[in-house]
A = this chain, B = another copy of it.
Amino acid sequence: MDTPPAGSIAVIFLSGRSDADETGYATAAGAMERRAASMCGYLGLDSARGTDGVGITISWWTDRTAATAWRDDPEHERIRAAGRAVWYDWYRVIVTEVERGYAWRRDEAGPTSS
């Protein structure tokens, strides 16, 4: 997503993948993203995973209420449990509040701040 507004919530999910069940993982990751996108207060999602198996996914939410509802969503919890059982060696979740941000793009004149 673009620069989120101040006061919005970034849920940072860092994880180390096991080698197990690549197909099941990809299916679940897709389902997880669709589920998040269906929820109230969802702003977007950014994700990257390197060849070392370490991944970072950030989901962006309008406010704490929306981020908490995502944490407590039964479907989300079901997929998290499967992640602990099969796909992950470790993960860390850090909930943060956005203060400010800016974006730069090669084909634009300069940075924009918020």
Chain B residues, Cβ within 8 Å of A105: 89-90
A95 in the interface (beta carbon within 8 A): yes
Report whether B104 and A46 are in contact in the complex, using a CB–CB cutoff of 8 Å: no
B3, B90, B100, B102: the one within 8 Å of A104 (CB) = B90
A50 in the interface (beta carbon within 8 A): yes
A109 in the interface (beta carbon within 8 A): no
Interface of A is mostly: strand
How many chain A residues touch B (Cβ–Cβ < 8 Å)?
A: 38
Residue of A14, A48, A54, A94 most packed against chain B (CB within 10 A): A94
Within 8 A of B (CB), among A9-48: 9-10, 12, 14, 18, 46-48
B2, B10, B54, B90: the one within 8 Å of A96 (CB) = B10
Instruction: Find the B residue at minimum CB distance from A90.
Output: B105
The 5 nearest A-B residue pairs measured at CB? A96-B96, A94-B101, A90-B105, A56-B56, A48-B48
